[in-house]
Amino acid sequence: MTEKKQFIATEPSDKIRFTAESQDEQKTVLKITNQSEMKQAFKVKCTRNDLFRIKPSTGILDYNQTITVILIYRGGQGKPPVEKQQFGVYHIPAPENCTCEGAWAEHYGPPQGEHKLKVVFNE
C-alpha cells in the first residue's frame, strides 16, 4: 500500500488546544505549509462559528510557502461544549493568476486533500 502524498502540512498536525474555563478570548496559531509543486487554494473551517473565529479562513499558498492562521476561541461560554469540536483544512490546486474564490468556484468534486484537527480543552 502506498501512502498518499500530502500536499500540505499543518502545525500542529492533530490537535488544537484551548483552556476550558477561561472567560477571555484565546488565540492560537495554526501554520499551513504547501509541500506540493503547484499553488494550493485552502479553506479552514470549524464545527461551530459561534465558538470559533479563523483569520484568514481562505487563501492561496505558493510552492513551499507557509501561512500563519489565527484560531480564536471566543471564551465566555462557561464550560466548553460537550460535543466534539474540530477544525478542517481543505485544499485544491490553484491555477496561475486565479483568486482563491475563483479556484473553489471552478473546482468540482471533493477537495484534493484535508486535515482534521481535534479541539482539546485543557482544564
* Domain locations along the chain: 8-121
Cα 9 to Cα 89: distance, rounded to the nearest angstrom: 10
pTM: 0.89
Domain 8-121 sits in CATH at 2.60.40.10
Q: Tell me the per-residue pLDDT of 40-55, one tens digit each, with 9 for 90 and over.
A: 999 999 999 999 999 9
The dihedral sign for the CA sequence 99, 105, 107, 110: positive
Q: Are 32 and 117 in contact (CB under 8 A)?
A: no
In the block, cell 474555563 appears at 21
Q: Tell me the per-residue pLDDT of 61-79, one tens digit each, with 9 for 90 and over.
A: 999 999 999 999 987 666 6
Q: Tell me the per-residue pLDDT of 92-103, one tens digit each, with 9 for 90 and over.
A: 999 989 999 999
Q: Are 89 and 79 in contact (CB under 8 A)?
A: no
Task: Using DSSP, state whether 105 is helix, strand or coil.
Answer: helix
Q: What single DSSP character describes residue 17?
A: E
